[in-house]
Amino acid sequence: MFNRTAVGEFLLLEFSTMRELQLLHFAIFLLIYLATLIGNLLIITTVSLDRHLHSPMYFFLANLSFLDISYISVTIPKSMVNALTNSRQISFSGCVAQVYLVITFADAELFLLTAMAYDRYAAICHPLHYRVIMNWSMCGEMAAGCWIGSMLYSIVHTTNTFRLSFCQSNKIDQFFCDVPQLLKISCSDTRVNDILMFVLGYSLASLCISIIFVSYVYIFSTVLKIPSIHGRYKAFSTCLPHLVIVCLFMGTGAFTYTRPRSASSVGRDIAAAVLYSVVPPLINPIIYSLRNKQLKGSLKKLMKKLKFPTTKFILL
């Protein structure tokens, strides 16, 4: 399935050759990783324990938090280990696994954000039939569809990438195995890969963006008809966090994968990779906990039970 004849391992990009900066890189990534784990685990725990949050909206939010933990766990720990041990190596099989998991979790998040947009549409535009439309069976099927669809999509790209030969270089200009960087160092003809990535990527993104866009057109038209200012504010407040996360995730991903290869540089590629693979999992819990009063209240109760001394400071 994969061509291993020329390359047995890859060398990931190191942020610096200075030992002090390597340790600083380790410390920063460790803080980001711990903050991401704590924030998303708090949301998952809160949604699981508070029966008032047992609704489709928070079911999808808990799934999003689980995805964020999985997504960032594929790239950050390996980069931290390499910085701590002053190493750059990643095995061929490790690189394959990293590519497969990154694509799987990234696309599952895109599908899930699309499902969350439809959930908001059903809740705001059809409130009387919301429980019928978004029943638990439908929610489970939508979540399963997100996972299955992303896995199949990832298999296509992973297989198509590692059928290539890597005999010119094994140095990847990124802190994790990324498809565009792997195509740059391949000595095979990558035109099929480029076309496939363009066609499938744009088709998938266009479909998801269209569903999200149409959902929010109906949402905004419905909200503007609500006579009460408080009612309009409450409806908008449930949609705003999701809309911010969609724009952040899709915007950074589009910047990375739609640029021509000739316009890329190491600095821009690293910045883009951090933006789409590290920043969304870190700030998603912050956005939702700050803008959602019900979730914020449940988080306060949970943290008081756990006797966190900085509860007021964190959730003000």
Per-10-residue mean pLDDT of the chain, 316 residues long, equals 59 80 89 92 88 87 92 92 86 92 93 92 89 91 94 93 83 86 85 86 88 90 81 75 79 65 66 79 79 71 65 43
Angle at the Cα of 279 (from 181 to 50), degrees rounded to 5? Answer: 135
In a domain? residue 2 = no
Here the tokens at position 140 are: 């489970």
DSSP 3-state assignment of 303? helix
63: domain CATH number? 1.20.1070.10
In a domain? residue 228 = yes
Give strand pairing partners of 171: 11
The DSSP 8-state label assigned to residue 259 in this structure reads S
- Residues 222 and 122: their CA atoms lie apart, in Å, by 11
Backbone angles phi, psi at 264, to 5 degrees: -85, 155
How much is the pLDDT for 291? Answer: 62
How much is the pLDDT for 50? Answer: 82
- Domain range spanning residue 157? 9-315
How much is the pLDDT for 71? Answer: 92
Largest CA distance in the chain: 68
Instruction: Tell me the whole-structure pTM to 2 decimals.
Output: 0.85
> Which residues, at least 6 apart from 308, have a Cβ–Cβ distance to it below 8 Å?
314
- Residues 58 and 43: their CA atoms lie apart, in Å, by 9
Q: Whose CA is closest to 118, among 47, 57, 44, 53? A: 57
In a domain? residue 1 = no
Token match 């943290």: residue?
Answer: 303
Here the tokens at position 117 are: 């947009």
Q: In the chain, how many domains are there?
A: 1
In a domain? residue 3 = no
- Angle between helix 191-223 and helix 136-162 axes, rounded to 10 deg: 160
> Which residues, at least 6 apart from 189, have a Cβ–Cβ distance to it below 8 Å?
none
In a domain? residue 4 = no
